[in-house]
Structure formats: structure tokens, C-alpha cells
A = this chain, B = another copy of it.
Amino acid sequence: MDEKIAKQVLEDVSGAVGLEEGTEGIRKILRFVCRFEPVPLHDLSRAVMIPVPVVSAVRRELEKRNIYSRKSGIVLTQKGKMLLQAIGIYSSKLPELKLEYSAPEWLGPVAKQFRSIQELRPAPDFTLDQSHVDSETSALRSAYLYEHDALGGRDLIFMGDDDLTSLAVCLLSSEYDLNIGTITVVDVDTRILRFISKSARRIGVEVNTIECDLRQGLPRNLAGRYDVFFTDPPYTINGLRLFASCGVQALRPISGRPVFLSFGSKSPNETIEAYKVISDNGLAVQEVIPAFNRYVGNQLHAGASNMIRCSTTDTFKSVTPSETEFIYTASQKKGTD
């Protein structure tokens, strides 16, 4: 196949789906199947970090053009292989180069206890973009917080916690006898707060829970009182802006403190926006781990999101967001709140 024709196919498919990631997004979706076929749809979505319904639409277009077919997963047709070769992509013997955590066995007990505790958790409220991470992610988060000195002697605040990460931290602390300062959870959902408070007491750790809708701003008495904040904010840029800004306001103005933001992959243009929000709040990026967070049954995030670890700086400021109305996906779609 001619390279020009192949590139035109990528253009056409991208156009037909209206893919924000453009032809490079189509190329990514094709290349992953070329390397690892047969590929289940959900694995493909997670690998390319594009939501399942979007990848599914791309698959439909590629099947229509006889490039993809199905055989216990997505595979390339002969025509598909020729198309990829025309743009320089050959199937190769090279295995995936993956970053993985080396020693998470010692996290086993934490993950196991977490799994059993969370069985009675409140059902997700999708209007609040609730969609929680799996138990392994919760346990890994607690270890990651420990690794980056967010626990020992620290006053820790969670800006929203339907993931129950605070409980994983309680379990790690009780399992390994850590010496956390204080743990505070702010959430708009009283069901979550009650559940966390009750479960923490059972673990033998005190968690302060505070009901609060951050769209009204951070309660005055919480400002400047914490060392570290953790948030997995609503999926929108406005959501990130609001939660990051409230988080920064809650911290004591000291440089070099760790801050943890979980945020899904966005199109390249929206990603620039997200990092602008981070800098604007005086946060310095230290590490970005794609697909660190795995969600249960969440298709919006492609089932995974990035862990963005930052550090506070001297240029400590929080940008008060001007648009706090449309922070949740649902309200954004409806244009109402």
C-alpha cells in the first residue's frame, strides 16, 4: 500500500470519529494491536489511555474499512498489516517495556484488609464523578505516600475521598506502626465521611471528617493547617483547578512538601491546560506515572489515570478559580449544575 493512501485512511478514520487525538491517536490504536494482537477492547483502551466508547467507535470504523477484525480480541487483517507497514510499523518481537513496582508483596496484608473493609462502602454517586480505584491501587497509594514522606509526622488532608485512600493509609499505618500526624478528609458526600470515620475507628486510627462542598471555597478554619494533600478530583480541568487550589490553601506555606494529584489522561491540548493549572497553583511536578490508578468499571478514564506527584514551592499561591460551577462531567455535559 502507498504511504499516502495509508495516511489518508488514518485521516478519514480520525475525522469520522472526531478523535481529539487526531491521526496520531489512530496510529497508537493500530500499533498496539499490531504488537499484541489479539487485544481485548478494554486492554486497548487502557493502553492508549483513550476512553472505551471512543476506542470502540474507532474499532467500528476500522472494521468497516477491513483493517481490524475480531478473533477472541481485536486483530489486524492482511490489509491492516499492509497499511501499517506503509507507515513504517512492522510487528516486532520486542516485548513491552513496562515500569513496574518491584516489591509490593509486603503490601499484601494492607490490600487484603482493604478489600474486606470496602465491601460495605456506599455505592458510587456518578453525578459527583465518583468511581473508585481498585483495592490494589488503594494499597499502592498508601505505600507511595509513605515512600515520598507524606506520612511520618505529617498532617495529611484528603480533598475528597470516595476512593477511601485515607483508610488504606490507616491500614498501612497500623500494620507497620507508622507515626502519622493527623488525617483529615473533606468530602461533599456524608455517606462517604460516615463510612470512613466508622471504619477508621475500627482500625484504631482517628480520622477527622469534614463535610464541605469545595465549590463554596475551603472553610476558613482549614486554611494553612496541613503539610500534605492528596486528591483525585472530578475529571474536568475546572475540577482539577478547584481541588488543587483548595488543597494548596489548606497547606502551611513551606516549600518542598509533597502533593499528590490523580488525574486522567486528556487530549494533548487539555493536558497543557492541566499542567498550567498545576504551575499556576505554585506546584512543581516531580513525577508523572501513567495508569498508576486503576478504576473499577470506569470507562471515562479508560479505566486508569495518572499519578502526578508535585512539590510545593516558595511561590506559594493558590489561584482562586473563577468557574466553579461545571466541575463535574455530568454538569458539564448538561450545561447545568
Contacts and interface: CB of A to CB of B under 8 A. Distances in A.
Given A149-B27, A279-B279, A315-B269, A92 B256 contact: no
A286 B315 contact: no
A282 interface: yes
A235 B45 CA distance: 37
Contacts of A149: 27-28, 31, 89
A125 interface: no
A259 B208 CA distance: 44
Contact of A24 (B25, B255, B275, B283): B255
Contact of A88 (B85, B90, B181, B254): B181
Interface in A281-335: 282-290, 311-315
A272 B100 contact: no
A102 B272 CA distance: 30
A80 to B, nearest CB: 15
A177 B92 CA distance: 8
Interface residues of A, number: 67
A99 B97 contact: no
A234 to B, nearest CB: 20
A214 interface: no
A143 to B, nearest CB: 5
A24 B257 contact: yes
Contacts of A269: 255, 284, 313-315
Contacts of A283: 272
A217 interface: no
A101 interface: yes
Contacts of A98: 101-103
Nearest to A278: B275
A93 interface: yes
A23 interface: yes
Interface in A54-109: 85, 87-90, 92-104, 106
Interface of A is mostly: mixed
B268 A97 contact: no
A311 B48 CA distance: 13
A268 B289 contact: no
A89 B269 CA distance: 41
A314 B27 contact: no
Nearest to A282: B272
Interface string A18-39: 0001111101100100000000
Contacts of A92: 176-178
A204 interface: no
B288 A286 contact: yes
B313 A152 contact: no
A175 to B, nearest CB: 10
B285 A271 contact: yes
A276 interface: yes
Contacts of A2: none
Given A90-B178, A275-B285, 5 more contacts: A88-B153, A93-B176, A97-B104, A286-B288, A288-B288
5 contacts: A89-B179, A97-B146, A100-B101, A286-B288, A287-B288
